[in-house]
Structure 1
Amino acid sequence: MILSIGSRLRSAVCDAEVVVVRSSGGEVDLRCGGRPMIAIDATAPPDAAPEPGFADGVLLGKRYVGAGGRFELLCTKAGAGSLAEAEEPLGIKDAKPLPSSD
């Protein structure tokens, strides 16, 4: 799937939803719970569940980044599945340190 900024996606196996905040525009195999993510308005399979090893959860309000910083996602709804690019788990983006007020 090609990610475009502002795209809303959801998991096919849990309640997780994300918004694409930054993207290089290349092809990405984005998954949640081990299954490919789907468009926000697509219908998910009724009895799908996260695969073993991909059930660490997604945290509301956290930003997740792909390998090399090629894309960034903002979690808008938490879920039980974990985000990954193919088999590689996505990392949570660290907050920028505030300048010293000395």
Structure 2
Amino acid sequence: MTSPAPTLRPGDQLASTACATRVVVVRARADGNPVLTCGGNPMVPATGAPPAPTTSAAPVTLLGKRYVDADGTFELLCTSAGAGELACDGIPMTLKAAKPLPASD
């Protein structure tokens, strides 16, 4: 019998098993635990993650960028770039756009 996956909270660090991508949860859903994948493989807690496979592919997940799900209720910050695409519940996550600054006089 397997125990259910722990609920993700802001500050949790996750790692990909498919590439070198590592992320930190910035905003999490209150209603449950989404299924996060990178490159089609589930993401795991960064503390027990196996070493990232080496690849020469161009990064798809960019260092320092924020990614959000389709509803904008779940947000990740990329702390290590990788070749895999982030997805939440099977739907690709999108790059979060910067908020425009107010005009100055």
- Contact between 2:20 and 2:52, CA under 8 Å: does it hold in 1? no
Aligned pair partner of 2:46 in 23, 34, 40: 40
Q: Displacement, 1:44?
A: 3.2
Q: Displacement, 1:46?
A: 7.7
Q: What does the per-residue CA deviation read over 1:40-77, in whole Å, with 9 as the maximum and x for residues that have no partner?
A: 02243886x8xxxxx97100000000121121100000
Q: TM-score, normalised by structure 1?
A: 0.83
Q: Does 1:83 align with 2:89?
A: no
State the identity as a percent: 51
Q: 2: CA distance between counterparts of 1:76 and 1:30?
A: 16
State the number of aligned residues: 97
Q: 2: CA distance between counterparts of 1:43 and 1:90?
A: 22
Q: Displacement, 1:86?
A: 3.0
Aligned residue for 1:52?
none
- Contact between 2:35 and 2:90, CA under 8 Å: does it hold in 1? no
- Contact between 2:16 and 2:44, CA under 8 Å: does it hold in 1? yes
Q: Does 1:13 align with 2:25?
A: no
Q: 1: CA distance between counterparts of 2:71 and 2:84?
A: 22
Q: Displacement, 1:15?
A: 0.6
RMSD of aligned C-alpha atoms? 2.3
Q: 2: CA distance between counterparts of 1:6 and 1:82?
A: 21
In the superposition, relative to structure 1, how do residues 98 and 45 fare at CA in structure 2: closer, same or farther (>3 Å)? closer
**Amino acid in structure 1 at the alignment position of 2:42:** P
Q: 2: CA distance between counterparts of 1:87 and 1:77?
A: 21
Aligned residue for 1:98?
101
Gaps of 5+ in 2: none
**Segments ≥4 residues shifted beyond 3 Å:** 43-47
